Amino acid sequence: MKRNIKLFIRYDGTRYYGWEHQPTEPMTIQGKLEEVVRRMLGLPEGEIPLIIGAGRTDAGVHAQEMVANFHAETDLSEEEILAYLNRYLPEDIGVDRAVFASERFHARYNAKGKHYRYRCWCGVNKPVFERKYMTVLQDDVDLEKMQSAAALLVGTHDFKGFCANPRMKKSTVRTVDEITIRRKKEELRFDFHGNGFLQNMVRILVGTLLEVGCGRMDEERIRKILEEGDRRIAGPTALPQGLCLIRVDY
């Protein structure tokens, strides 16, 4: 029976070269999933099933809930698919749910919004057990300054200046409807929600806001980046390990 199978996936991206297939890099989340699904369906080695992800997380970035789908001829139940995938996937990739979706469901095209979280460590001691999921800050930061600067970024803007791809041919206009920055003890947490994000956009936003928090940039620079769309005047791209895709909205 022809099925459209929807997966809810979580993964530790530490040792992977991102979600998407890379011509010279076998260690990708998509590649690992497709290989296990191929074996589950009994397909020959050269016949790779296409698994469509809701987005393309970068190398070293994690996901709490990535959504993906693939079409397949199978009589396996949802429970059997889930059990097989979790049995044969590496320990750092897990499938929380496998459900039969409508024929027209598309993990990427049907996505309405995404929630990303970036975590930093501001403590004196090392975050030994969280080191793979946080970025350790060397400088103290001003929370109120960052919150004020973040407010300038909320809304519909051309985020070209916050995109790592200078040759982007498609529109770089996106809507970011929420940015929250909170500090609880030693942890500094940035949460972003929007209808979509450009290549490295969240990490560049974090890097820029941290520059504001450290006093090396001000709100006028934020306005200038938005107006001129010049990546060179934005902040550095924050390290990947602090970033996690939390949820995809449909």
Which residues form the catalytic set? 58
Whether the Cβ atoms of residue 153 and residue 146 lie closer than 8 Å to each other: no
Whether the Cβ atoms of residue 93 and residue 32 lie closer than 8 Å to each other: yes
What is d(CA 64, CA 228) in angstroms, rounded to the nearest whole number?
A: 34
Q: Which of 70, 73, 81, 144 is nearest to 107 (CA)?
A: 70
Q: Which of 164, 161, 197 is nearest to 178 (CA)?
A: 197
Whether the Cβ atoms of residue 17 and residue 28 lie closer than 8 Å to each other: yes
Kind of pairing, strands 2-11 and 93-101? antiparallel
Cα dist from 208 to 136, 171, 188, 198, whole Å: 16, 22, 15, 15
What is d(CA 230, CA 166) in angstroms, rounded to the nearest whole number?
A: 9
Whether the Cβ atoms of residue 118 and residue 203 lie closer than 8 Å to each other: yes
Which segments within 87-242 are labelled E, that is strand?
93-101, 113-121, 135-136, 155-158, 173-184, 187-194
Which segments within the chain are labelled E, that is strand?
2-11, 52-53, 62-73, 93-101, 113-121, 135-136, 155-158, 173-184, 187-194, 243-249
